[in-house]
Amino acid sequence: MILKPTSRKERGATVTKGFKLQSSEAKIKVEAITGGWKEFNRSQNTRLLYILKGYASAEVEGKESIVEPGMVLEVPPDTPFRLSGQIEYFSVRV
């Protein structure tokens, strides 16, 4: 399924969604974040975020780090996390 890009405000961040594909094994999507923080809920699956463009601060389990293009951020199951900055990423839940 390919979706038209949509934008919404979330905790001061503008979140733009590109496309989303979902099956019983994985959920794949592309999003962009501009400014503010985007908080992610806990997931029963491991999340892998491949950073496509931009730079952001990522906070996972209380530890903050900078992510940049080409990096992969792995978030374990049942772990909340958040991103801040100007970034575009590809997300996979497995």
**What domains sit in the chain, N to C, each tagged with a CATH number?**
6-93 (2.60.120.10)
Question: What is the band of 86 on the pLDDT scale with cuts at 50, 70, 90?
Answer: confident
66-92 average pLDDT score: 90
CA distance 39 to 28: 18
Beta carbons of 57 and 83 less than 8 angstroms apart? yes
Q: Identify the pLDDT of residue 59.
A: 92
pTM for the whole thing? 0.73
pLDDT tens-digit readout, 18-76:
656 666 666 777 777 777 778 887 788 898 999 988 999 999 988 999 999 999 999 99
CA distance 44 to 48: 13
